[in-house]
Amino acid sequence: MTYVIGPACIDVMDRSCIDECPVDCIYEGKRKLYINPAECIDCGACKPACPEQAIDLDRLLTGDQRAFIPDNARFFNEPLPGRDAALGTPGGAGDIGPIGVDTDLVAGY
């Protein structure tokens, strides 16, 4: 299981979850935040920190929110628009800073 940030984050990006994450696994796209499933330790510290209630365990997402499970992984595992290589598992969002681009799902939302 992993935590996933859903559509309630789009165009809001409060970033409170970033402050609570002990492993720095929450990355910033252009319009939404993404949790790296390979870096997340499933501690759940991010979930109560989100005022938009946009974060939940992947197995608890329902309906249209389920599309954000593979989309979250896509952000890290496939080249993003305008990039030649996948982001992968950089080992921490703080060292990289904002990515500045989103997946096609979020860009079209």
The model's pLDDT over 44-87, given as tens digits with 9 standing for 90+, comes to: 999 999 999 999 999 999 998 999 999 999 999 999 999 999 99
Quick check: 1 pLDDT over 90? no
For the segment(s) 3-89, the CATH number from 3.30.70.20, 3.40.190.10, 3.40.50.970, 3.40.1010.10 is: 3.30.70.20
Q: What does the pLDDT read at residue 23?
A: 97
For residues 67 and 57, what is the distance between their CA atoms, to the nearest angstrom? 13
For residues 82 and 94, what is the distance between their CA atoms, to the nearest angstrom? 21
Backbone angles phi, psi at 71, to 5 degrees: -65, -40
Give the C-alpha distances (Å, rounded to integers) separating 106 from 22, 95, 97: 26, 24, 19
If DSSP codes are grouped into helix, strand and coil, which group holds residue 105? helix
Q: What does the pLDDT read at residue 10?
A: 97
Backbone angles phi, psi at 53, to 5 degrees: 55, 40
Structure tokens at 49: 């920190």
- 82-102: buried (b, 16+ CB within 10 Å) or exposed (e) per residue? eeeeebeebeebeeeeebebb
Give the global pTM: 0.95
